[in-house]
Amino acid sequence: MSRTHESSEARRTTAPGRRPIGEITRGTTGHNRLRRSDRWIAAVHGPLLRSAGAPLVADLGYGASPVTTHELFARLRRVCPAVEMVGVEIDPARVAAALPYEREGLSFVRGGFELPVSRPPLVVRAFNVLRQYGEADAWRHWDTLRAGIHPSGVIVEGTCSEIGHRAAWVTLGAGGPRTLTFAARFTGFVRPSDLAERLPKTLIHRNVPGERVHAFLSDWDRAWATCAPFAAYGSRQRWIRAAELLAADWPVTTSPPTGGPSRWRLGELTLPWDAVAP
């Protein structure tokens, strides 16, 4: 892509007369805040990106600084050198502040959930953008995003703590949600249910008795307690053993690329969306 074409594409925004879909977020961000989701996207969806000639990734709602967009771009370029990325922000001041940091393959545009990019993206990362919405709005914005991606594309939508020690995200395809993933620093929680505060907006209010996500988190806490003796070998071993125990009663993903010891040892756990869907 020529620099002239890239610059023109970088400044593409929602069609004149149409307001971008969504509201301005708080914009808080920081170096490596999204590293857990980044490494997951690179490992799990690297093959998807490599399957395309010029894969496009959109980073929706990157915030007051484009730092996490730069980080994801760098990490994905390691697994797919041809990847192109567009950071999408609804606040024009944030877009203007990010433009000087454009480079070959990386650009920034003003927009929202309508994803005003040149072609349907193969991967969309949307982190910490739906916290301020109600549950019904979150479902609607999921639908808007799904309508804008490549037919084979995925959306990784989630939230994380201020320093990224606790996170949860949903992977959605064009047909709907597929999986729910939890990720944590081993010293960043007391029990697994502490991660409930990072559930996606479509689930966070469902963490009550009688709902499947509540039952799952309760069972995970029990498995964590049962595996307390393994803490003598480190929290990583305790997490792995608890995941194995939990998998006896829940359809926890137990094989690569999203599950099994290779992912559990990183403080991750993934299960099908249908297992916890409201």
Q: What is the pLDDT of residues 64-101, one digit of tens each?
A: 999 999 999 999 999 999 999 999 999 999 999 999 99
pLDDT, position 223? 98
Task: Show the domain range for 193.
Answer: 185-273
What is the Cα–Cα distance from 227 to 229, expressed in whole angstroms?
6
pLDDT, position 177? 98
pLDDT, position 25? 87
With tokens 């990847």, the residue in question is 83
pLDDT, position 8? 36
Q: What is the CATH number of the domain that holds 68?
A: 3.40.50.150
Q: Do residue 143 and residue 243 come from a single domain?
A: no
Which of 114, 120, 127, 87 shows the shortest CA–CA distance to 103? 87
Domain count of the fold of the chain: 2
Model pTM score: 0.92
> Could you tell me the mean pLDDT of each successive run of 10 residues in the chain, 278 residues long?
35 61 88 96 97 96 96 98 98 96 97 96 97 95 97 97 96 97 97 97 97 98 98 97 98 97 97 97
pLDDT, position 29? 87
Q: Do residue 134 and residue 98 come from a single domain?
A: yes
pLDDT, position 15? 53
Q: Do residue 130 and residue 235 come from a single domain?
A: no
Q: Do residue 134 and residue 197 come from a single domain?
A: no
pLDDT, position 16? 52
Q: Do residue 122 and residue 30 come from a single domain?
A: yes
Residue 230 lies in a domain: yes
Q: Do residue 2 and residue 119 come from a single domain?
A: yes
pLDDT, position 250? 98
Residue 66 lies in a domain: yes
What is the Cα–Cα distance from 27 to 243, expressed in whole angstroms?
34
CA dist 65 → 15, 24, 96, 201 (Å): 24, 14, 11, 24
CA dist 32 → 72, 261, 278 (Å): 9, 24, 32
